[in-house]
Structure 1
Amino acid sequence: MNRPHPAQAGLTLIEVLIALAIFTALSVAVLGLLPTLFQVNRNNQNDQAVTVAAKAFMESVRTAYSAQATFDAGTLPATPDTSLMGGLTCAATQANPVAAWVTPAGGPMLRRVTLTCAGTGQPTYTFTLDVGRPSS
């Protein structure tokens, strides 16, 4: 049997140091990305919280405006609770997007509800819903 000579078995110190240097360089590169990844994760959580709150608000608008009297009154539900949205504040507005579409009494046939959420140093989120006047 041919066995390797004891001087040829195992790794040399140079090989271990080179492997350690490569591992260190890769670790520094990966660890350098972690703060960016955490920031992206935080931004995604804020985006998701705002979107979920806006969806709930728009569904409450759709439910409220499903009755003709509420639609004609133009009363909007309360804006979403912003405690979980990372410091954003929301404001809701409504408008008649097509001025020619009015009832004989002069009320709008279509309402555009816009929810805008903004905060210092954060992007502005705008959500829009068009709701038609329900028939009696």
Structure 2
Amino acid sequence: MGAYLAAALGGALIGLSASLLMLLNGRIAGISGIVGGILGRKSERFGQDIAFVGGLLLGPLAYFFLFGREPLVQISAAWPVLIVAGLLVGFGTRMGSGCTSGHGICGMARLSPRSLVAVSIFLGTAVLTVLAAHHGGSL
């Protein structure tokens, strides 16, 4: 399967899962909120949240059974950098009242003004981070 086809199929599956969660459960597929629901107080949604995150974690296993190989993922950063980055992302999702999946996929689809602002900040910060990390801040 070509890289573009795989990316298009992956995007379609993400959109389908977010749409089904909204249509069937009336919930936005924000991963940080769902994981927060698992780690926080137990609620009536606990089982649904576990199933959703379990599906995310089983995705690479499904890929292996479908294509006979592991997904190709390359991570070139050292563990300390990954840990700090993960903590910063977690902090940012709490500060921004949501993550890229909640704002970027579901919020943008609903034309939420708050999500439009959040995604603009996410992308702007990503661009500045890449410039700083790879180009020393210069173009």
Normalised by the size of structure 2, how large is the TM-score? Answer: 0.30
Greater relative contact order, per chain length (Cα 8 Å cut-off, separation 6+): 2
The answer to which structure has the higher helix fraction is: 2
The answer to which structure has the higher strand fraction is: 1
Kindly name which structure, 1 or 2, has the bigger radius of gyration based on alpha carbons: 1
Normalised by the size of structure 1, how large is the TM-score? Answer: 0.30
